[in-house]
Structure 1
């Protein structure tokens, strides 16, 4: 059974609601996520097509396949989104208690800086494994 969660950016100008049925947190250590957030980007898995964003959100096209959402007022990180399907991986920090999620996977785990490590029993995917999971197959490539 799904539940609706609500969150907001630091200044409150952007409000976000989404539905979750089994909240899972994901951490990404890729260079862009670390540059954008000064650490891993923690996202909360939500149900497809359940995300509603109101307020001055903006998106920076950070790669050929996606972009990073942020509040146009305070600059808070809102999401990482994919151009292909319009899906958004919402920043876990927008929601109280990270939406109740538990860490399930780290992407680009081999790029995690030596200065920190995430504890717990969860999947850790290397750069090669992450790219294989998300990169389009040769049949899908333009």
Structure 2
């Protein structure tokens, strides 16, 4: 696959992915709703498969016992989520789908935390829709 690129709104933080999954997921948990302003769409890549430029502009907030969320310190764009679990030797990046320069070719693979999804919208397609409990087991 060809490298994919992405950036924050102002372009101060940019990234290049050496490998990109062909799918993304959607999280409906209340924390993701607050961070994204709605539904959180993201895909995960191993830490070794991303090259970041403008890292000096990245700010990180430890949002829970198990995760940290990063954003651009200039424009505030949500960039990625990373596990802080010490058991993960090299945690990957769960990157915001909207930061990609080219979103073509990626399919919606699953939705999680559907019990907190606002009833005012529904995503189309035949894909798994998991509760928070199902995600944790």
- Shorter chain as normaliser: what TM range? 0.7 to 0.9
Matching residue of 1:53: 52
Identify the residue that residue 70 of structure 1 maps to in structure 2: 71
Change (3 A) 1:25 1:50: same
Contact 1:70 1:78 in 2 (8 A): yes
Q: 1:107-139: per-residue Cα shift (whole Å, max 9, x none)?
A: 10121101111111111111110122xxxxxxx
CA distance in 2, matches of 1:66, 1:34: 15
- Whole-angstrom CA distance in 2 between matches of 1:101 and 1:48: 20
The 2-side partners of 1:60 and 1:21 are apart by 25
Specify every segment of 5 or more residues in structure 1 that has no aligned partner in the other structure, as ranges: 133-142
What runs of 5+ residues in structure 2 fail to find an aligned partner? none
Q: 1:131 aligns with which of 108, 128, 136?
A: 136
What is the root-mean-square deviation of aligned Cα atoms in Å?
1.6
1:21 and 1:34, CA in 2 relative to 1: closer, same or farther beyond 3 A? closer
User: Which residue of 93, 100, 116 maps to 2:121?
Assistant: 116
Greater than 6 Å deviation, 4+ residue runs: none
> Secondary structure of 2:32's partner?
helix
In the alignment, the residues of structure 2 paired with residue 11 and residue 126 of structure 1 have an alpha-carbon distance, to the nearest angstrom, of 35
Q: What TM-score comes out, normalization by structure 1 length? A: 0.85
Q: Residues 7 and 15 of structure 2 are in contact (CA less than 8 Å); yes or no, is this contact kept in structure 1?
A: yes
Distance 1:120 1:102 in 2: 10
Which structure carries more relative contact order (alpha carbon 8 Å, separation 6+)? Answer: 2
| Cα distance in 2 between the residues matched to 1:115 and 1:97 | 28
Query: What is aligned with 1:15?
Result: 14
- After TM superposition, the score normalised by the length of structure 2 is 0.87
